[in-house]
Structure 1
C-alpha cells in the first residue's frame, strides 16, 4: 500500500506541468525541444479583443544557471503551433537530421500560419513565434508593448472561428544571418546550453478584464469546458443519495448492503475530488492534479466493487441461495479484472502521449480489459440463467428478469463508450464520455439502492435485519434512547 501511494504521488508530480493551463516550470536547452502544453481555443464573443484565446507570460534565464557568456549567447524559440503544423514539426524532429533546426523551420514556413516569418530578421518572426529568453523585467526583443497583456513579456492571440488544438513548444533554435541581413539566412541550433524559467497562461478570453469573462470557460481548454458544471450537478445528487443509503443500512447488517454502501461512497468521494479540482482549476488554472488522479482511482475501484456486487446477485446470493456458489472462482475472476483495470489507469497516465488523440482502450492493455469485461458479461448472463432455473417464486423470477436486462446494459456500456469515443472528435470526446459515464453510474447505483431498500427485503432478499430495532419500533420505543 505504501509503495502504491508513493507511485501515485510521483506520477502526479510528473504530469503536473502539462495537465494545467497555468504552466510554471524550467526547461533545459539540452533537451532540444519540449512540448509545454496542448490547448484548444474557442471564440467566446465576436469582439476582436475579448473574443479570442490568449497565450502570455514570462520566459527568462534561470538565475545562476549559466555563466555570463552563456547567458549573452542563449537564444531559443517559443512557438505556438496549430494542429496542422505540429505533426510536421514532430516528424522533422523524429527524422534526426543533422541540421534539424533548418529542417524544422523549412517545414514551418510552408504552413499558412507561418508565411509571415522572415528567416533573416529575428525582429519579424511571425505572430506565433517569439525569441526567448527575454531580459528580466523587460519585454521580449521581438514583441511590441502595445500587443502585450499587462505584466507579460510576450503575448499570442488566437482568433479561430472554430475550436482546434494548439501546441506550445520550446526549441533550442534561433535565427541567424551568416552573410548579411538580406540573404543566405537560416535557422541554427543554439550553441549555448542554458536553463530557462517559464510562467505561462493559456486562456479563452481577454485576461485583463472583460465583460465576456466566463469562469466556466476562461481557464479551460475547449474539450474540458462544461466539465465543472457536470461534476457540480452530480456531486449535489450524490450528496442526497449517500445519506439516504446510510439511513437504509442502519437496519441491515448483511455484507451485500455494506458492499453497495461502499460502492456509493467511492463514487461520491471520486466525484467530489473531481469537483474540487475543477473549481480550483477555474480559479488558478492549475487545481490539484493529485485530486484528479485520486478521483479517477476512486471511480475505478467503485466500478470493480460494483461488478462484484452484480456477480454475487447473479449467483443468487441472498435471493435463492444463502451462500456464495463457487466462491473462489468468483473472487479469482473479479480479482484478475480489477488488477488489469487498475493497470490500465497507470498505463494511460504514463504511456499515452499528450499529443495523442487515442484513448487508453485503443492500446493492448485496454483491449485486454474490454475482452475480460465481455467474458465476465457472458458469465454473468450464464450464472443468472442458471440461478433463475433454480427459483420457483414468481416475484423473484420477475426480479431476475428485470435485474438481468438492466445490468446487462451496465456491462456493455463501457464497450459502447469506447466505440463512441473513437467516432467523436477529440474536441467533444471528453465532455460526451464524462457525461454518459456519470449518468450511467448514477442510474445503476440508484437502481441498486432501490432494490436493496429495507422495505423490499421480505419480497426478494434474505438479508439479515437488526431484529432488536424492528421489535422496538414495533412497540413504539425510541431506539436511540438505549
Structure 2
C-alpha cells in the first residue's frame, strides 16, 4: 500500500505541468526564439475547413505565429538555415494586435499543425540586444457537426469522449450483473480468496480511471482545458490497476492457489521485491514519457524513448510469464490443471501483449489516428480480459475444480466424470 501511495504521489507531482489542453497560456521570448531558430509553442490536429485559431497577448510584437504542416515538420527539424525553416510555414499570423483570430482551411484529411513563434531577430547571427517576453493565451477550435468552430478536440482526440461514456456504462452494467453474485459469495461466510480481492481492486481502479477520464474529457469539450487533476488521477488509477494485474497474473503463473503452492504473494518476499521493482520501473518510465507529451519531435507519445522502453518492459514481462508457466507445467501432473493453464496462458498473453502489439499495428495508420488506436484498443482488451477473469473466478468453472478456491465458498462440480474418485485424479 505504501508503494502504491508513493507512486501515486510522485505521479501527481511530476505529471501536472505536462497536462495537454488546447486552450493554452504561456510565454514566448525573443531570446528563446533566437536560440531555437523559432520557438516551438504547441501542435493541434485540425480536421475540416473553417477551423479557427484565436490568440490574445499582453502586448503587440513584431513577431509572428508560424503554422507548419506535419508533412513539412521533419524537414523543418532537419533544416539548419533559420530563414529556410520559417519559410516552410504554410501561413503566418502576425502579432500586430493584442487579439486576433485566423481561419484555418483544412483540406484532404486531418493534419497536425505545428505552431512556432519567430521575430525579425530570430534568424540573426548575433544574440538579440533585448529579450522581449510576450504572454499569450491561445484557443484552437475545430468545426462541429453544424460547421461552427467550437469543438476543442483535435482530431487525434475526437471520439474518445463517447468511447469512455460507453465504457463506463458497460462497467455499470457489469456491476449490475455480478454484484449480486459477489455479495452471495461473501455472505456465505467463507473467506473470500485473495485472488478475488486483487481482481476486484484491479477492476475498481480500471473503472475509476475510466470515470475520471470521462469527466475530464467532458469538461475539456466545454472549456478546452478539462480538469488536469482528474486526468492525472485517471492515469494514476490506471497505473495501479496494471500493477495489481501484473502481480495477480504472475502469482497465478507460479502456481499460487494451485495444489501445494498456496503462499500469498504478500508474504512471498522474493516475489514482492520483483513486483516492486517492476512497478517502480513502470512509474519512472511513465513519468519520463510525460515530458514528451507536448514534444514537437513526436506525433504519438509512445513513439518516444521511454515509450519504447515501456514496450520492451511488456515483452520482458511476457518472457517472465512464459518462464513461470513452463516451470509450473513441468512439475504439474494433473491433466485438469494443465488444461486450466492452457486457457489461462491465452488470457495472460492477451493482457500483456495488447499494448506492444497495438503499438506496432498503429504504425501504418495516419499520425492523428495512432493515439486513438492504441488508447481504445488497449483499454478495451484490458477491460475484456478482466471481465473474462472475473467470470472464471466467480463461477463454478474449471478453475474452481483445480484450485484451492474450491475449498472456500463454492462447491466443486462433479459433472466432468465426477464421483468419489474425482478428487484423487487431481493429484
Give 1:317 shift: 2.0
Deviations 1:272-293 (A, max 9, x none): 1111111111111110223222
Give 1:4 shift: 5.8
The aligned residue for residue 63 of structure 2 is 76
The 3 A distance-change label for structure 1 pair 239 and 105 is same
The 3 A distance-change label for structure 1 pair 359 and 199 is closer
Give 1:5 shift: 5.9
- Bigger Cα displacement from structure 2, 298-307 vs 383-392: 383-392
Indicate which of 160, 169, 172 corresponds to 2:107: 160
1:3-14 matches, within 5 Å, as 7-14=10-17
Deviations 1:199-225 (A, max 9, x none): 22111128xxx833597xx21111111
Whether contact under 8 Å (2:64, 2:94) holds in the other structure is: yes
Mapped partners of 2:154, 2:357: distance in 1: 26
Mapped partners of 2:129, 2:312: distance in 1: 52
Indicate which of 156, 159, 174 corresponds to 1:226: 159
1:350 and 2:291 matched = yes
* Counterpart secondary structure, 1:441: helix
Whether contact under 8 Å (1:320, 1:390) holds in the other structure is: no
Deviations 1:385-431 (A, max 9, x none): 44345555554443222112332232222331232233333111011
Give 1:365 shift: 4.3
The aligned residue for residue 137 of structure 2 is 199
From the CA coordinates, give the structure whose radius of gyration is larger.
Answer: 1
Whether contact under 8 Å (1:58, 1:153) holds in the other structure is: yes
The aligned residue for residue 93 of structure 2 is 130
The 3 A distance-change label for structure 1 pair 104 and 380 is closer
Mapped partners of 2:391, 2:206: distance in 1: 17
The aligned residue for residue 42 of structure 2 is 37
The aligned residue for residue 50 of structure 2 is 52
The aligned residue for residue 119 of structure 2 is 172
Mapped partners of 1:187, 1:367: distance in 2: 37
Query: What are structure 1's unaligned runs of at least 5 residues?
Result: 44-50, 62-70, 96-102, 114-127, 136-151, 176-185, 468-482
Deviations 1:13-64 (A, max 9, x none): 4224xx2111223334342243222011112xxxxxxx33211232232xxx
* Counterpart secondary structure, 2:156: helix
Give 1:84 shift: 4.2
Give 1:354 shift: 1.9
Indicate which of 252, 256, 268 corresponds to 2:207: 268
* Counterpart secondary structure, 2:262: coil
Whether contact under 8 Å (1:75, 1:173) holds in the other structure is: yes
Whether contact under 8 Å (2:299, 2:368) holds in the other structure is: no
Normalised by the size of structure 2, how large is the TM-score? 0.79
* Counterpart secondary structure, 2:65: strand
Whether contact under 8 Å (1:60, 1:132) holds in the other structure is: no
How many residues of Structure 1 are paired with residues of Structure 2 in the alignment?
A: 392
The aligned residue for residue 430 of structure 1 is 371
The aligned residue for residue 425 of structure 2 is none
1:284-363 matches, within 5 Å, as 284-324=223-263, 327-351=268-292, 354-357=295-298
Root mean square deviation, CA, Å: 3.4
Whether contact under 8 Å (1:28, 1:195) holds in the other structure is: yes
The aligned residue for residue 211 of structure 1 is 146
Give 1:459 shift: 2.5
Whether contact under 8 Å (1:242, 1:268) holds in the other structure is: no
Whether contact under 8 Å (1:231, 1:275) holds in the other structure is: yes
The aligned residue for residue 174 of structure 2 is 241
The 3 A distance-change label for structure 1 pair 198 and 389 is same
The aligned residue for residue 257 of structure 1 is 196
The aligned residue for residue 28 of structure 2 is 27
Query: What are structure 2's unaligned runs of at least 5 residues?
Result: 411-427
The 3 A distance-change label for structure 1 pair 381 and 81 is closer
Whether contact under 8 Å (2:51, 2:149) holds in the other structure is: no
The 3 A distance-change label for structure 1 pair 244 and 343 is farther
Mapped partners of 2:9, 2:273: distance in 1: 27
Give 1:440 shift: 0.7
